[in-house]
Amino acid sequence: MRRLLRPAGGFTLIEILVVVAIVGIVLVVATVNLMPDQAQLARRDAAQLALDIEQAREAAWFGGLPTAVSLADGRLRRWRFAGTTWESEASKDRPLEGDTRVMSLHVDGEALSPAERLVFMPDGLGTPFRVALELRGHRWAIEGDAAGAVKAVER
C-alpha cells in the first residue's frame, strides 16, 4: 500500500508577502483618512465656530433676550442681556481652536473692532454680519444674512 505524503502545513513566502503588502496599503489609507491635514482642520474649526454663532442667534430668538458672542483673547464668549447689563454665559465659553485669529468684524457693512460683541436680537430679524478669520494658516469667514442663515465660507 502506498502512502501519500502530505505537504507540511503553513504559508509560502509569497502568501506572507502579499498579506503584508495588503495590510500596509490598508494602514496607509486609514492614516490618510484619520489624520486630517491643516486645511481639513481649518474647515472643521470654521464650521464649529459658525455653529456656535448660530446657536447664540437661536438662543436670542427662542429665549426672548438679546444674546451676543465675542471673539476676544482667543476665546468665544456668549453673553445674555439681563436688564441693564450683559452677563457672560460661562457654560457656553470656549477657547478658539488652534491659532485662530479674528481679522475683522463687519455688521451691516460697518467695520467693528474684532473684540466687540456680535449681538442678536430676539425679534427674529437678522442683521447681516461677516467675521473674517485666519484658521491654521487658511482664510475663512463666518457670514450671516438678513434671513438668519449662518455659514462658514472659505476665502
Domains and CATH numbers, the chain: 38-154 (3.55.40.10)
Below-50 pLDDT ranges, the chain: none
What predicted TM-score, i.e. pTM, was given to this entire model?
0.77
Exposure pattern of 117-146 as b/e (b: 16+ CB <10 Å)?
bbbbbeeeebeebbbbbbbbebebbbbbee
Q: What is the pLDDT of residue 6?
A: 66
Alpha-carbon distance of 130 to 52, in angstroms, equals 14
Note the pLDDT tens digit of each residue in 78-99.
999 988 999 999 998 999 887 8
Question: Three cell numbers at 48?
Answer: 464649529
Q: What is the pLDDT of residue 153?
A: 94
